[in-house]
Structure 1
Amino acid sequence: MNTNSRLEQANDNAAAFWLAQARAHGWQSHVRPGLTAVRCARTPDDSQRFVVTRPYAEPADVEKQLTDLLGEWETIRFTLEDPYDGLDLTRFGAVRMPIMPVMAREPGPVEGVTAGLPAVSPAHGGGTLTVDEALDGDAFALVERTIVDGFPLPARQPWTRGGALPEELLRQPGCRAWTARVDGAPAGACVTYDDGAATGVYWVTTLPDQRGRGVARAVLRTALAHAHPDRPATLVATSAGEPIYRKLGFTRQAPTCWWSRTSLGG
Structure 2
Amino acid sequence: MIATDFDYYRPNTIKEALGLFHTLSENKKSPLYFNGGTEFITFRRIETLYTEVKAVIDIKNINMCHEIKEENDTFIIGASIPLATIETIPHFPLLSKVCNRIADHTSREKITLGGNICSNLKYKEAILPLLLTNCDVVIASPTGLHTVPIQQIYNIQTGKIMLEHGAFIVQFKIDKVFLNMPFTSKKVTANGRIGYPLVTISAIHMPHIVRFAFSGLCHAPFQLDMIDTTLNERNEPLKNRIQKTLEQLPSPILDDMNGSSEFRTFIFHGLVKEIISEFGKE
Structure 1-normalised TM-score?
0.26
Question: More relative contact order in 1 or in 2 (CA 8 Å, sep 6+)?
Answer: 1
Which of the pair has more CA radius of gyration?
2
Which structure dedicates a bigger proportion of its chain to strand? 1
